[in-house]
Structure 1
Amino acid sequence: MNHRWQSRWLNGALILLIGFTVLLGGCQTSPATTTTSADAVYQQRSPSRDGIGKFYMGREIAQVMGHLGAGWLERPSREREEKPQALIKALDLKPTDVVADIGAGTGYFSFRISSLVPQGKVLAVDVQPEMLAIIEAIRQEKKVGNVETVLGSTTIPNLKAGSIDLALMVDAYHEFDHPREMMQAIAQALKPDGRVVLVEYRGENPLIPIKPLHKMTQRQVRSEMAAVGLTWLETKETLPQQHILFFGKQA
């Protein structure tokens, strides 16, 4: 694995311990009393230690890992722990594919995918300008021409309708502040035969050492995707700790 480009942007100052704290540890249960928002899609409760107190389809939304936790995304042990190359292989990408890496962070997957879509491109989408600045610096240093940064918002990814072949979200969806609005917008951005892929730590397994709010069960993911009109296609369990769930548009 080539970490040459990390030296300038991802020194120890990016604080691996901050990212580690965000993703590992325990989780407190929020009180049973609820206040229903005017939207009725979401409910607001007192937040747990690792959540924002906003509930969607029975699930508390997790706190976002900020740009100071970028070192966690680039940790050397990630290759061993998560097998990212196995995930990329499972995507079955075509050279002409347009891939949206939603919640791209430091571009960990964006740059690994870019060489597999030489006639296509990767749209690295994030809501944090600081993350996009890191991606842009790496893109220029590595002279990668088919990775483009896109500043999204908490409700839309800012992608054109019918423009992408695949939307990839790796350990990101559980942090979406407005998951229904985001997924509706992502579904609109798909080409007719486009796919959505969610990679989430397995919530069914209590032995996976990730905070509960940063894991999701397959049942929960499938329910939330069905709510926005996405059909489950398959689940691949080839990774050590994460589900790979594939969805498509309903016919």
Structure 2
Amino acid sequence: MEWKNHDYGRTREMREKYIPFDSVDKFIELKPNDTLLDVGPGDGFYALSFAKEVPRGTVTAMDLNEDSVSEIKKAQESSGIKNLVVSQNDICTVTDFSRYTKIFFSNVFHDLNCRDKILNNMISTFVDKTRIIFIEFKKESTIGPPANIKISQDDLKGIMKKHGFSFLKGEDLTEHYMQMYTI
């Protein structure tokens, strides 16, 4: 998917309408010293919000898109947040995830062509208690990508199980769902 000149205002509107931050915040269970990787953070809303909640931890916002990285750096500078690392990098090339206690994908995983590679690298480098959190469009949702691109809740569970991950919990939202996994 091409994200050059992406409309982050529309993304923000959709997030505010369909994905209540309080629900996400409660679901993710952040601890003050967590090290979180936000994959494909877009405008950086979650990365910036999470960084405020992990004063002794670190949040890494990783995106390949130059516009996204620039947007997040501007927001970080104006907010004064110091424990946010903004990285212009391709998640498909990352081989070591051992430093993270949580890895967060919000409406991103369905777009990745290297899912198997990422999950194999995660399972081989994770430490106990590492969590992967997904927010994805429900298959039947009328918003988001076409249905053939969306990943159903059961399909995501199958993908994760195939790679050796254990389902911890899930939650339905209006047009999305959240799921959490560990090793």
TM-score by length of 2: 0.89
Shift of 1:185: 2.5
Structure with higher strand content:
1
Shift of 1:171: 0.4
Unmatched runs of 5 consecutive residues or more in structure 2: none
Structure 2 distance, partners of 1:244, 1:220, is 13
Q: Deviations over 1:75-118 (max 9, x none)?
A: 3x531222123112211111111111011111021011111111
Task: Call closer, same or farther: CA 1:147–1:214 in 2, change over 3 Å.
Answer: farther
Matches within 5 A, 1:84-123: 84-123=21-60
- Would the aligned equivalents of 2:43 and 2:71 in 1 still touch at CA under 8 Å? yes
AA aligned opposite 1:241? E
2:104 alignment partner, SS class: strand
Task: Call closer, same or farther: CA 1:187–1:140 in 2, change over 3 Å.
Answer: farther
Matches within 5 A, 1:12-91: 64-71=1-8, 72-75=10-13, 77-91=14-28
Structure 2 distance, partners of 1:121, 1:94, is 11
Task: Call closer, same or farther: CA 1:220–1:95 in 2, change over 3 Å.
Answer: same
Query: Which residue of structure 2 lines up, in the alignment, with residue 232 of structure 1?
Result: 167
- Would the aligned equivalents of 2:39 and 2:91 in 1 still touch at CA under 8 Å? no
Is 1:217 aligned to residue 152 of structure 2? yes
- Would the aligned equivalents of 1:121 and 1:146 in 2 still touch at CA under 8 Å? yes
2:6 alignment partner, SS class: helix
Structure 2 distance, partners of 1:187, 1:97, is 19
Structure 2 distance, partners of 1:134, 1:67, is 12
Task: Call closer, same or farther: CA 1:82–1:128 in 2, change over 3 Å.
Answer: same
Unmatched runs of 5 consecutive residues or more in structure 1: 1-63
- Would the aligned equivalents of 1:167 and 1:186 in 2 still touch at CA under 8 Å? no
Shift of 1:129: 2.3
Query: Which residue of structure 2 lines up, in the alignment, with residue 193 of structure 1?
Result: 129
Task: Call closer, same or farther: CA 1:188–1:117 in 2, change over 3 Å.
Answer: farther
TM-score by length of 1: 0.66
- Would the aligned equivalents of 1:162 and 1:191 in 2 still touch at CA under 8 Å? yes
1:193 alignment partner, SS class: coil
Q: Over aligned residues, Cα RMSD in angstroms?
A: 1.9
Task: Call closer, same or farther: CA 1:137–1:188 in 2, change over 3 Å.
Answer: farther
Structure with higher helix content:
2
Task: Call closer, same or farther: CA 1:108–1:187 in 2, change over 3 Å.
Answer: farther
% of aligned pairs identical? 15
Q: Which has the larger radius of gyration?
A: 1
